[in-house]
Each structure stands twice: as structure tokens, then as C-alpha cells.
Amino acid sequence: MSTPVRVAVTGAAGQIGYALVFRIASGQMFGPDTPVHLQLLEITPALDALQGVAMELEDGAFPLLAGMTLTDDAAEAFDGTNVACLVGAKPRGPGMERADLLKDNGAIFTGQGRALADNAADDLKVAVVGNPANTNALIAAANAEGVPTERFSAMVRLDENRAKSQLANKAGVSVAEVTNLAVWGNHSPTMVPDFDNARIGGQPLTDVIEDRGWLEGEFLSTVQQRGKAIIDARGASSAASAANALIDHVANWCGGKPTPEGDWVSMAVPSDGSYGVPEGLICGFPVTTDGAGAYRIVEGLELSGFTQAKLGSTVAELEEERDAVSDML
Ligand code: NAX
């Protein structure tokens, strides 16, 4: 057996954490031959609940689970961490403005960025799920002195998976037939699923689904509002599907599951200026990954006027968020 991958999960006793850690322990993030050591971080009042999660992990008797660390101390949680899944965040409370949410979460991600820089392994990779995910990733990266910025990402994969499922249903095909579906921008209702460059069964998607009114209307709004629809139906926000998307995100990036030849996936990563997105913003892009920690933004895609305009709006929102937390960058 190889050396265990040290995986930190923050907010590990929360809803997504509960859906995530068992799948990591069972080998779905890093493959069936890679042991993992789970480093679980929670706030102090949630440590009892975290203990319960750890007991259930023990009761899963996972052969790949090499060890666990349970703590409320970020330095301990990130000690030697290879992959950090930053899920824990402060939810938006009643009457709370978006700016307050940005600031409160900014404080968490400032501290976690520093703790990662001081304690994590040299090959650290970070996937941020806690909202506002893109801007939290920006803050963590800015405060992680010495860690290359491109090691920080935010998750837009749930949006991609949601979009693929809607498209597969519409076309009457298996979801596996829907490929090359990028989600551009912010993980927020402004994000943009790029149907112009997507494919179904290898054909341009727009040749298979010719109803452009549906693509620009109902499809887009269904994907953008899916999080709210889940809350309305379930009385709680997406958890298992979010954990599933994070498994996909990390597995493709550095869990030994490269993007299939000719396909791409969506990750929010620091912009290199591609497609007019200001450099440094953590923005959803189409990327190819090698499964071993490297990714590349797919260049040269043509965007329709519709998608280009939507990209402009989501990027403007990211810039506003960045400006609201400029004192933390
Ligand atoms: P929960 O409230 O169930 O769990 C969050 C957990 O984080 C709690 O157990 C809390 O004690 C812990 N926590 C809070 N501050 C912490 C800190 N400083 N250090 C460590 N742990 C801390 O929320 P859950 O449903 O699990 O969602 C977690 C985050 O994911 C939220 O911010 C949510 O908005 C975000 N989401 C992001 C998605 C994405 O696609 N990027 C989709 C799903 C989800 O909405």
C-alpha cells in the first residue's frame, strides 16, 4: 500500500461533510488503491457531533482509512495536508446582507489560508465548497503565502452535473453522452452553463437540442435556480449531490482520474486572463486535468453573444465580491 493521502475536510460534521467523508474513506476520491488519512476540522461546539461521525467511520471498517484526526485547530487539521476540502462556512442568516456573509466567511478563509501555508504539505491542493466559494478561495489563496495560487480552486462541478442531467433528460439520452459542458463564472445564480460548446454523443449539443429558446430560457434558469429548488423540496440545501460533485472535482484534478481525451470539466481556478476574465479572479472555466494535480484552461472556444454577455455579468459579480473583501486580499 502507498503512503496515505492526507485529506483535510473542514465542516466535517455538517451536511455535506457527512455525505463526503464516507465516500473518501471508501476510495471514491483517490481510487481503490490509495489509503487516506482524514483530518477533520470543526468549530468547538460541533466536536461532539464530529466524534459521532468518526465513530460511524470506524463502523464502516474501511480498509483504505489509515487514520483520522479530529480537531477544532486549523493548524492541526492542516498538518501535512495534501488535499484540503474547505467545506465549512458560515451560512447566511436571516436579515444578513451579502456583504456581511462575505466578511464573516472572509475571516474564516483568511485564517485557514494562513494555516494551510504554515502546515500543509508541499504538494497541497485546495478545493473550496463553502460559499461564497469563489471568493473564499480567492481569500484563502491570498493569505497562503508561499503556496502557488493555482493550487486553489472552487467547486462549480455541481452546476456542471446539474446542467448535464437536465440536458440528458431533454435529449432522452444517458447523462454519460453529454460531454464538454463547462460552467463559467461564479458559483451563484449568475453562473453560465456553456451549451454552445457542449456535445451530445459527440455531436454539437445545439444540433441535437435545437430549441434555443429552451436552452437560453428554461434550461438556464433551472440550472441557476436548482439550489433553491432543492431547498424548497427537501427543506435543506443540497448535500449528497454537492459531496458527489466534490468527489468528481478532486478525482479528476489529483485523484488519478484524468479528464477523458477530448472532453473537459469545470473548475473555478485563478484566471490567467483567458476569455477576458481579469487575471487572478477565481472563475469557472473549462479545464482538462491529468489526474495527478495539473490542469489547463481550455483555450480557443468560441462563445455565442448570449453566453459572452452572461459571462460578462458573472465576472462583474466576481469583481464586486473581490472588491468587497479587498482588505483581506
Ligand atoms: P452545514 O451548515 O450543514 O455544515 C457546515 C459545517 O461547517 C458545520 O458543521 C459548521 O459547524 C462548520 N463550520 C463552520 N465554520 C467553520 C470553521 N471556521 N471551521 C470548520 N468548520 C466550520 O452546511 P453544508 O450544507 O454542509 O454546506 C457547507 C457549505 O457548502 C455552505 O457554505 C454552502 O453554502 C456550501 N455549498 C456549496 C456548494 C457549491 O457547489 N460550491 C453547493 C452546496 C452548498 O450549498
Name the residue of 15, 47, 135, 250 to mutate for ligand 1: max ligand atoms within 8 A of Cβ. 15
Asked whether residue 226 is assigned to any structural domain, the reply reads: yes
pLDDT at 169: 98
User: pLDDT tens, 110-165?
Assistant: 999 999 999 999 999 999 999 999 999 999 999 999 999 999 999 999 999 999 99
Between CA 177 and CA 195 the distance in angstroms is 14
Residues 101, 223: one domain? no
Residues 174, 280: one domain? yes
Asked whether residue 38 is assigned to any structural domain, the reply reads: yes
CA of 91 to the centre of ligand 1 (A): 7
- Record the cell numbers describing residue 175, joined without a space: 447523462
70 lines ligand 1 (CB under 6 A): no
Domain end position, chosen among 116, 139, 154:
154
State CA 144 to chain mean position distance.
19
Residues 67, 178: one domain? no
Q: Report yes or no: 38 and 7 within 8 Å, Cβ to Cβ.
A: yes
- Catalytic residue, chosen from 162, 164, 170, 187, is 187
132 lines ligand 1 (CB under 6 A): no
Name the residue of 21, 39, 43, 50 to mutate for ligand 1: max ligand atoms within 8 A of Cβ. 43
Return the half-sphere exposure (C-beta side, CA atoms, 13 A cut-off) of residue 18.
Answer: 13
Q: Provide CB contacts within 8 A for 197, sequence distance 6+.
A: 180, 182, 286, 301, 302, 303
Residues 290, 173: one domain? yes
**Looking at residues 220-248, what average pLDDT do you find?**
95
- Which one, of 157, 109, 161, 163, lies nearest residue 131 by Cα? 109
Closest-lying ligand 1 atom to the alpha carbon of residue 111: 18
Q: What confidence tier does 96 reach under pLDDT thresholds 50, 70, 90?
A: confident
Can 249 be counted among the known catalytic residues?
A: no
| pLDDT tops 90 at residue 10 | yes
Residues 62, 173: one domain? no
Which residue is closest in CA terms to ligand 1's atom 4? 14
Domain end position, chosen among 154, 177, 200:
154
pLDDT at 1: 65
Domain end position, chosen among 99, 134, 154:
154
- Record the cell numbers describing residue 157, joined without a space: 462541478
Asked whether residue 45 is assigned to any structural domain, the reply reads: yes
90 lines ligand 1 (CB under 6 A): yes
Q: What confidence tier does 101 reach under pLDDT thresholds 50, 70, 90?
A: confident
Asked whether residue 329 is assigned to any structural domain, the reply reads: no
Residues 193, 309: one domain? yes
131 lines ligand 1 (CB under 6 A): yes
CATH assignment of the domain containing 277 = 3.90.110.10
CA of 87 to the centre of ligand 1 (A): 5
State CA 234 to chain mean position distance.
22
Residues 54, 96: one domain? yes
Residues 180, 224: one domain? yes
Between CA 290 and CA 273 the distance in angstroms is 22
Return the half-sphere exposure (C-beta side, CA atoms, 13 A cut-off) of residue 33.
Answer: 4
Residue spans of alpha helices (H) in 64-194: 74-77, 98-119, 133-143, 157-171
Question: Torsion-angle region of residue 162: left (phi > 0), alpha (psi -120 to 50) or beta?
Answer: alpha
Residues 147, 163: one domain? no
Between CA 282 and CA 261 the distance in angstroms is 25
**Looking at residues 297-316, what average pLDDT do you find?**
97
Phi, psi of 240 (to 5 degrees): -65, -40
| pLDDT tops 90 at residue 312 | yes
Q: Report yes or no: 201 and 177 within 8 Å, Cβ to Cβ.
A: yes
13 lines ligand 1 (CB under 6 A): yes
pLDDT at 2: 84
127 lines ligand 1 (CB under 6 A): no
Asked whether residue 206 is assigned to any structural domain, the reply reads: yes
CATH assignment of the domain containing 46 = 3.40.50.720
Of 22-26, 86-90, 91-95, 217-221, where does mean pLDDT reach its minimum?
Answer: 91-95
Asked whether residue 277 is assigned to any structural domain, the reply reads: yes
- Record the cell numbers describing residue 96, joined without a space: 444578513
Between CA 73 and CA 179 the distance in angstroms is 41
Residues 137, 275: one domain? no
Based on the structure, what is the number of domains in the chain? 2
Tell me the sheet residues that pair with 125: 83
pLDDT at 37: 98
Residues 242, 306: one domain? yes
Bridge-based pairing state of the strands 203-204 and 265-270: unpaired
Q: Strand 125-128's sheet: what is its strand order?
A: 65-71, 36-41, 5-10, 83-86, 125-128, 152-154, 265-270, 282-289, 295-297
Q: What confidence tier does 93 reach under pLDDT thresholds 50, 70, 90?
A: confident
User: pLDDT tens, 236-287?
Assistant: 999 999 999 999 999 999 999 999 999 999 999 999 999 999 999 999 999 9
Residues 170, 295: one domain? yes
CA of 315 to the centre of ligand 1 (A): 24
CA of 11 to the centre of ligand 1 (A): 6
What range does the domain containing 167 cover?
157-324
Mean pLDDT in the chain? 96
